[in-house]
Amino acid sequence: MNFIVRRPWDLPQKHHTAPEVYWNRKQHRREFLKSMGIAGTGLMAAGIAGCSKPTAQELEQAGQVESLPESKKTIFPSPRNPDFEYGRSETDQFEAAYYTNFYEFSVQKDSYRYVEPFKPTPWELTVEGECDNPRTFDLDELYQEFEYEERAYRFRCVEAWAMCVPWTGFPLRKLLEKVSPKSSAKYVSFQTFYDPEQARGIKAYPEFPWPYTEGMTIEEANNELVLLATGIYGEPLPKQHGAPVRVIIPWKYGFKGAKSIVRIQLMEKQPVTFWNDYNPKEYKFEANVDPQVPHPRWSQARERMLGTGDMFETMPYNGYGDYVGNLYS
Ligand SMILES: Nc1nc2c(c(=O)[nH]1)N[C@H]1C(S)=C(S)[C@@H](COP(=O)(O)O)O[C@H]1N2
Ligand SMILES: [Mo]
């Protein structure tokens, strides 16, 4: 077993300079965007270029990753699990970090602009409810008590954009095992941090049912595919991707995967969840990716890849039917 010396939370709270190689990528990206006049790139497809062109500084922030000295990098990257492949090209790291949904910060995909005040370290994740051994994990424990791997997953937002990204994490069921769920535990709910001082969107959009919550059945939560993720592209999650820990459920629409989670509850009854509560007609609790069931305002038959704008047919269960089909038969 690898001795883990990587401590991404041992960082001062201010942004760090990204690694050399990463800076080069952004530099390259910036020149590329300039040469394209920005329009015509993924940014255009993202609907952002139409409002205002990002400044060079904003472009840099978009890729901001809390980095560590080389000497401390032992669990990032974690070994890649060869069982998972995208079947398409990997999304550019910058494009994924630039276009994010995180309503606590912004409803316009540009959450990277507003995450500065957010402090993902130190952090605690409480697992409680219908279980015999409720527990609170700090980040040290989360990193030391589980075996991390990297998985190449397709990711599909309900808004019909998609990406292919490598997550670093471990199966959620390993965490649930630790608290010994009771037989009365039929559902699992996830809760995002709630701090209006650190997340301006909470104040700016009072119409939403904060805090952000999500949930699924215990059978779904125990499926091999569900990851508790602490990293992306072989590095700790940038704030806008849901640092320091989030859920990834690749066969469901992206909104099911709550970011920056502070609480996991085992429950007897189906939990209230953010999008379903806000608009139950448009956002179902189950929310499995399904090309046959259109969103009331758009088709789900096809999806657009972040960055390239490539279009693909949407696959039932986002292509993961072999893993999860049995849950719904
Ligand atoms: N707390 C919280 N979690 C969230 C969201 C959010 O607004 N707040 N957006 C969801 C949606 S709609 C999607 S598509 C994914 C986006 O993940 P990404 O921005 O890392 O690509 O996060 C999900 N998790
Ligand atoms: Mo989404």
Q: How far apart (Å, rounded) are the C-alpha atoms in residues 48 and 26?
A: 18
Type of residue at 326: N
Distance (Å, whole) CA 261 – CA 243: 9
Q: Looking at residue 22, what is its pLDDT? A: 40
Residue 139: per-residue pLDDT: 87
Fold that domain 18-328 belongs to in CATH: Sulfite Oxidase; Chain A, domain 2 (3.90.420)
Residue ranges of domains in the chain: 18-328
Q: How far apart are CA 165 and CA 199, in angstroms?
A: 25
Is 226 a pocket residue for ligand 1 (Cβ < 6 Å)?
Answer: no
Q: Mean pLDDT in runs of 10 for the chain (329 residues)?
A: 38 34 48 42 39 54 51 72 97 90 95 90 94 94 91 98 97 98 98 98 97 98 97 90 96 98 98 98 98 97 96 98 95
Cβ atoms of 149 and 168 within 8 Å: the answer is: yes
Nearest CA owner, ligand 1 atom 19:
100
**In a 3-state reduction of DSSP, which class is residue 31?**
helix
Q: Which residues of 291-314 are buried (b: 16+ CB within 10 A; e: fewer)?
A: eeeeeeeeebeebbbbbeeeeeeb
Tell how far the Cα of 98 is from the centroid of ligand 1, in angstroms: 13
Q: How far is CA 212 from CA 222, 244, 255, in A?
A: 22, 16, 10
Tell me if 228 sits within 8 A of 104, measured CB to CB: no
Residue among 96, 324, 328, 109 at smallest CA distance from 232: 96
pTM confidence score: 0.84
Which residue owns the Cα nearest ligand 1 atom 16? 101
Cross-strand bridge partners of residue 137: 125
Where do runs of H (alpha helix) occur along the chain? 20-35, 42-45, 56-62, 93-98, 139-144, 172-178, 200-204, 218-221, 274-278, 321-324
Whether ligand 1 lies within 6 angstroms of the CB of 253 is answered as: no
CB 217 within 8 A of CB 162: no
SS3 content of the chain, % helix, strand, coil (to 5): 25, 25, 50
Q: Give 155's strand partners.
A: 163
Q: What separation in Å is there between the alpha carbon of 110 and the centre of ligand 2?
A: 13
Residue 27: per-residue pLDDT: 53
| Alpha helix segments (H runs only) across 107-242 | 139-144, 172-178, 200-204, 218-221
